[in-house]
Chains A and B, each alone.
Chain A
Amino acid sequence: MKEELFASGRNIPFIDPVLHIWHWQIPLYLFVGGLAAGLIFFASYFYLKGDEEKYPIAVKVAPFLAPIVIIIGLIALLIDLRHPAYFWQLYTTIRIESPMSWGAWTLGAIMPLSMLWPLSYIKDLQAYFDNRLCKMPFKLISWIIKMINRYWFINWIYDWSIKLRKPIAIINLVLAIILGVYTGILLSAFNARPLWNTSLLGPLFLVSGISTGAAAIMWMAKEHHEKLAFSKIDLILVGVELFFIVHMFMGFLASTAVQQEAAQLFLGGEFTAVFWGLFVGAGLILPAILEIMELFHFKIPIAIPAFLILLGGLVFRFIMVDAGQITRYLY
């Protein structure tokens, strides 16, 4: 038991001395937000580059996951709210200086667009899910296609989603980057929490999110060249992530006592084993080794590095949200 005596006016339940208001919902949401950003980013980028046929899974198939995971994240956010019925009030204002406002509006825009994108490729999705073990998605997609043929207005939306692919891809590319960065900036804008208050958090969350997107795509890919391409992309992203992590800690250690104390949580403190073992070790370095072996033509089932990357991304967000709430400017 660790006991502390306070002689301070600062004792606000759930906020001071330690923040205790964010539970599993927020890290889960940050994870799916990053994953969706990655999936949408790759789909838009490779579409605009004209690689639709070269990377069919990335452009046509995988993006169907994006709206599904965004909905899961939004449900988590709603559960987190004390008064869920008031969520719409975020949409009564635009505040350019508030990351939460950016996030709310980005999600509001990317949600319908991320649904239009897979709709425009619904026939490719049907082909992908045909002959799969699980018949559910195939039946659902066939039902949607039936609806498109039956009702003129759904058919009209479908036609336009195909015609508007290029502008949607351009808007989605920008929105995906905003979504990915915002999941980190949401935390880094908290200047009362030293662990979060670093400008590296935005880029780090963006890269991590894009990397989980690449992992999901390489897991789903059928053709070897597509698996390999996304494995290579992922490898580069893991390298960038490691670079950011090292520099984040260098920044903390070169900063004031509270930042150094925050870093100590990961350098000997209670999050050391889980951060370096589960996230950096099993979630970045091990999959990176497996991906490098893949490049040297060893037979590696791609599901293993992909799963590890996804799990690492989830663990990373849980650690950052939990640890960040403990760090403080108290002494």
Chain B
Amino acid sequence: MEDKSNKYMNPYLAGVLIGLMMIAAYYFSGEGLGGSGAFKKVTIAAVNTVNHDYAKDAAFFASSVKDGKNPLDSWLIFEILGVLIGATISAGYFGRLKLKVGKSPKITNKTRLIAAVIGGILWGVGSQLGRGCTSGLIMSGMSVNAFSGYVGLIAVFGGGYAFAYFFRKLWI
């Protein structure tokens, strides 16, 4: 079988397709696409299960759990499940479905995983302070011409360029 593991879709075509997906998402669900939202909902559901009395009074959790609402009953959860399933099938189709740690060859898996966890935590906190991540704030925001989306774009990519130099060893 021919090796397709290094063949990727044209990024411009992929961008257009994501744009069409965005329109479909707004049309069918009334919400845009999101990445961090689903993780937030899972966190809220976990806190709510352990201690409902706390969750219903805490500002961050209250809106998702009041009146017996289930925080997992959300479009974002199903969207992310779809992403997982679609990604698995697509990776399987192109022969890229394997368990591995993507990193610079010069660092150990341990270093990479620790850095990834710290980065993930910072990203989680940041996305909540910014009310969304790259998908939820920037893409979904800009697609409805929200000012916050443009600010987010400048902050995320500007910040990325500014800090890339210091963390380049994790990748090259």
Contacts and interface: CB of A to CB of B under 8 A. Distances in A.
A306 to B, nearest CB: 13
B98 interface: yes
B72 A286 contact: no
A15 to B, nearest CB: 24
Interface residues of B, number: 16
A175 to B, nearest CB: 36
A301 B98 contact: yes
A64 B70 CA distance: 42
Contacts of B1: 297-298
Interface string A277-299: 10001100010011001000111
Interface string B27-51: 0000000000000000000000000
Contacts of A277: 78, 81
B78 to A, nearest CB: 7
A299 B91 CA distance: 9
B68 A304 contact: no
Interface string A258-286: 00000000000000010001000110001
Interface in B53-92: 67-68, 72-73, 78, 81, 85, 88-89, 92
Nearest to A289: B89
Contacts, number: 39
Nearest to B95: A299
A4 to B, nearest CB: 14
Contacts of B20: none
Interface in B1-31: 1
A300 interface: yes
B154 interface: no
A303 B99 contact: yes
B97 interface: yes
A107 to B, nearest CB: 32
Task: Specify the main secondary structure of chain A where it touches its partner.
Answer: helix
Interface residues of A, number: 17
B92 A290 contact: yes
Nearest to B5: A299
A301 B89 CA distance: 12
A286 B81 CA distance: 11
Contacts of B81: 277, 281-282
Contacts of B72: 273
B99 A281 contact: no
B85 A282 contact: yes
A252 B142 CA distance: 48
B79 to A, nearest CB: 12
A2 interface: yes
20 contacts: A1-B67, A1-B68, A273-B72, A273-B73, A273-B78, A282-B81, A286-B85, A286-B89, A289-B89, A290-B88, A293-B89, A293-B92, A293-B93, A298-B1, A299-B92, A299-B97, A301-B97, A301-B99, A304-B88, A304-B97
Given A282-B81, A290-B89, A298-B1, 15 more contacts: A1-B67, A2-B68, A273-B72, A273-B73, A282-B85, A286-B85, A289-B89, A290-B92, A293-B93, A298-B92, A298-B93, A298-B95, A299-B98, A300-B97, A304-B97
